[in-house]
Structure 1
Amino acid sequence: MIGKPYLLDTGLTSRSISFENPTGAPGEGGKAASNLGPGRKGSPMRQIDPGQTVQLCDIEGLGTIRHIWLTTIQEPVAQRAMVVRAWWDGQEHPSIECPVGDFCGFAHGKIMPYHSAVHSVGPTGGRNIWLPMPFVKRAKFSFTNEGEKAVPLFYQIDYTIGDNHPDDVGRLHVLFRRENPTTTKEDFELLPERKNKGRFIGSVIGIRNLHPDQWWGEGEVKVYMDGDTEFPTICGTGSEDYVGLAWGIQQTPFFYNGCSLDKNNFISMYRWHLPDPIAWRERARITIQQISWKNGLAETEDDWSCATFWYEPTPSAPLPEMPDLQARTADVWHD
């Protein structure tokens, strides 16, 4: 559709869900009333109380979520306290479970304006995700405020129905991990082992350098797949090398790779394997080492996090347990 926007008879029908049309049904948008009357911006947002969960969508049938936009408050702690979850095709456990900030492209709760192939983020916290999210029976999204105060939420989910997906189409999976600090010689897992066919899309990776007197990023990415044991099939050459940079990290965001934050020993970087797929048939596990340079290579421990994105069919195994609120929000960025 992107490559041939002039094709009109695609068999697809466009729909959109927001608080102005929470079902996406035809002719049902904008019916709420404001002080200006019915249909005049009557329900663009809601306040989400502490501990409250709201349903963002519950779509039945074949379709593809094409784009999600949302915005809320900008406080760094809140970006890790608000959580997005998604369920595909009737599966009981979520396939997406991630803090809102990391899901939308930035680590540490620090909003930085940039765009990539997957995300675009505005300077005041307008955030977008562009990865297609196919489903064959049902798609559900929720938003939970695990913070201590109410937050405003504006959102819109744009999708199509009438898509022709096979039953084993890859469903988007997203997890969040954090180790604060990591453990010496125990490589940080970007993707804990998955026992299903799949395709790795990439990660938003956060690093808080706990040793400012040394370079943190000599560690290599390793992709263990389809029978690999001690040694991987795919092996990188360094942490900044993995995100397409070199000779240290630079705050330079690009379309498929780069770094959106490099300030005060906080780094947020990303890599998207869209033109260069990493796919497996049976199982995969992906790690990155914590190796520093201080008068030579040395093992180190720092604060690492990731929001990792991949596709695999359902049924799929449950995600690893997400860190709790305190573990997610400790030591985030402070404005």
Structure 2
Amino acid sequence: MNRIIICLVSLFIASSVYSQSGFNGLDVNMGNLYRLSNAETRSISPENFTGEKGKGGMARLEDKDIPNKANAAHVARDLGQGWKVNPFIIIKPGETFTLAEIDGSGAIQHMWMTPTGNWKFSIIRIYWDDEKEPSVECPVGDFFAMGWNVYAPLSSQAICVNPGSAFNCYWQMPFRKKCKITMENINDQDPMRLYYQIDYTLTVVPDDAAYFHAQYRRSNPNMSSIHTIIDGIKGEGHYVGTYIGWGVRNNRWWGEGEIKFFMDGDKEFPTICGTGAEDYFCGSYNFDREGQYNVFCTPYAGFHQVIRPDGAYKSQQRFGMYRWHILDPIRFKKELKVTIQDLGWRHGHRYLPQKSDIISVAYWYQAEPHAKFPKLPGWEELEVN
């Protein structure tokens, strides 16, 4: 009984301190959605490039000849200002457009966008607090788990991809001084049209808040039979997600390989070692029911895409999988490396080291500064053929 009373008193004190300290609006969930906050909600889109209060929908018809000032002036000509005059932007070949530049402290809470054209040729980058090297650098399709440049519905807690090509991201991304988000069109021929909205809050950021990172990698072909998802992470943080697009070049089941997390001084052998690709992505037995792959989406893991070679000009099978470590983040203090084996089956019930085409995006939080990313390949290496 005394222990129960002590626990209740501790809970009361903790909740009182929390209440007195104020609610900054960052850690929002169904359990505290009722709480008031001093945070200020803002949103950036082509109808309000700065996100300023009371500045949305101000595009003017007379600016129709100025790039990205009134792109829909013709269809809004009968209605005028305030009636969807500039709902999208055009990014020319070779051009980089700043989608958002936010001063102050706060957090990105949601991003929505509908990029057109080749998703491999549109590069999203995010910079925190005036850093020169991006903390996020990724082809936009891969960032939203669409690495094969083919739409597939995806419904999860962190990322949703909805009809017809609506990309949504719900990763919380705090910043203390500044946030800058850009999109580069590396297509050497075609412009891209982009509708987008970036929803964020201006608020106090806790001292222990880490910065969001995401990095793209590809092994094509994977000559070592080991694909490196991430390497060279230095500092303290936690790993929160993996997207993999797997292109298979052989028959039989292709996902026997183990995922391995080498952290904080691990050398030959990792601290965390999985038992197979489908197991890591929270499935089992080849994602197979009655001889067929079964796609699925859950809040934290999914096998959401199967591209079968069933067309006149299609080659081989390709797959998409995601695993979000939201309730089970992988903590590291000094360094982290993550790999996955490229392993299938061969004659005589033996493992087969494969040479697959493997795309991956690693998602993690860490204290800055972060290690410089490997140079992102050009469109020739990014292209899916």
What TM-score does the superposition give when structure 2 sets the normalisation length?
Answer: 0.82
Match of 1:257 in 2: 301
Q: CA deviation at 1:263?
A: 2.3
Match of 2:341 in 1: 289
Is the 1:111–1:125 Cα contact (8 Å) retained in structure 2?
Answer: yes
The percentage of aligned residue pairs carrying the same residue is: 36
Q: Give the whole-Å Cα distance in 2 for the aligned partners of 1:202 and 1:181.
A: 23
Is the 1:64–1:163 Cα contact (8 Å) retained in structure 2?
Answer: no
Is the 1:95–1:173 Cα contact (8 Å) retained in structure 2?
Answer: yes
Match of 2:381 in 1: 327
Q: Give the whole-Å Cα distance in 2 for the aligned partners of 1:140 and 1:175.
A: 17
Structure 2 counterpart of 1:161, one-letter code: L
Q: CA deviation at 1:232?
A: 0.4
Structure 1 counterpart of 2:88, one-letter code: M
Q: Give the whole-Å Cα distance in 2 for the aligned partners of 1:234 and 1:269.
A: 20
Structure 2 counterpart of 1:222, one-letter code: K
Q: How does 1:50-69 map to 2 (within 5 A)?
A: 50-69=93-112
Q: Deviations over 1:97-135 (max 9, x none)?
A: 100101112221111112111111112101100000000
Structure 1 or 2, whichever has the larger Rg, is 2
Q: CA deviation at 1:214?
A: 2.4
Q: How does 1:3-82 map to 2 (within 5 A)?
A: 3=30, 4-8=32-36, 10-33=37-60, 34-35=76-77, 36-73=79-116, 75=117, 78-82=118-122
Match of 2:353 in 1: 299
Aligned to 1:240, what secondary structure does the other structure show? helix
Match of 2:233 in 1: 194
Q: How does 1:29-178 map to 2 (within 5 A)?
A: 29-33=56-60, 34-35=76-77, 36-73=79-116, 75=117, 78-147=118-187, 148-166=189-207, 169-178=209-218
Is the 1:177–1:323 Cα contact (8 Å) retained in structure 2?
Answer: no
Aligned to 2:297, what secondary structure does the other structure show? coil
What TM-score does the superposition give when structure 1 sets the normalisation length?
Answer: 0.94
Aligned to 2:163, what secondary structure does the other structure show? coil
Structure 1 counterpart of 2:304, one-letter code: S
Is the 2:232–2:371 Cα contact (8 Å) retained in structure 1?
Answer: no
Q: Deviations over 1:137-157 (max 9, x none)?
A: 000000111112011110000
Aligned to 1:54, what secondary structure does the other structure show? strand
Q: Give the whole-Å Cα distance in 1 for the aligned partners of 2:209 and 2:369.
A: 11
Residue 219, structure 1, aligned to residue 257, structure 2:
yes
Residue 279, structure 1, aligned to residue 306, structure 2:
no
Q: Which runs of 5+ in 1 are unaligned?
A: none
Q: Deviations over 1:216-274 (max 9, x none)?
A: 10000000011111100000000111101111133112111111111221100010001
Is the 1:85–1:142 Cα contact (8 Å) retained in structure 2?
Answer: yes
Aligned to 2:278, what secondary structure does the other structure show? helix
Q: Give the whole-Å Cα distance in 1 for the aligned partners of 2:330 and 2:358.
A: 22
Q: Which runs of 5+ in 2 are unaligned?
A: 1-27, 61-75, 288-293, 309-316
Q: How does 1:303-318 map to 2 (within 5 A)?
A: 303-318=357-372
Structure 1 counterpart of 2:51, one-letter code: G
Structure 2 counterpart of 1:108, one-letter code: W
Q: Give the whole-Å Cα distance in 2 for the aligned partners of 1:218 and 1:98.
A: 27
Aligned to 2:286, what secondary structure does the other structure show? coil
Is the 2:143–2:361 Cα contact (8 Å) retained in structure 1?
Answer: yes
Q: CA deviation at 1:169?
A: 2.5
Q: Give the whole-Å Cα distance in 2 for the aligned partners of 1:263 and 1:55.
A: 34
Q: Give the whole-Å Cα distance in 2 for the aligned partners of 1:14 and 1:201.
A: 25
Q: Give the whole-Å Cα distance in 2 for the aligned partners of 1:298 and 1:104.
A: 30
Aligned to 2:382, what secondary structure does the other structure show? helix
Q: Give the whole-Å Cα distance in 2 for the aligned partners of 1:171 and 1:119.
A: 18
Q: CA deviation at 1:6?
A: 1.1
Match of 1:236 in 2: 274
Structure 2 counterpart of 1:52, one-letter code: E
Is the 2:297–2:303 Cα contact (8 Å) retained in structure 1?
Answer: yes
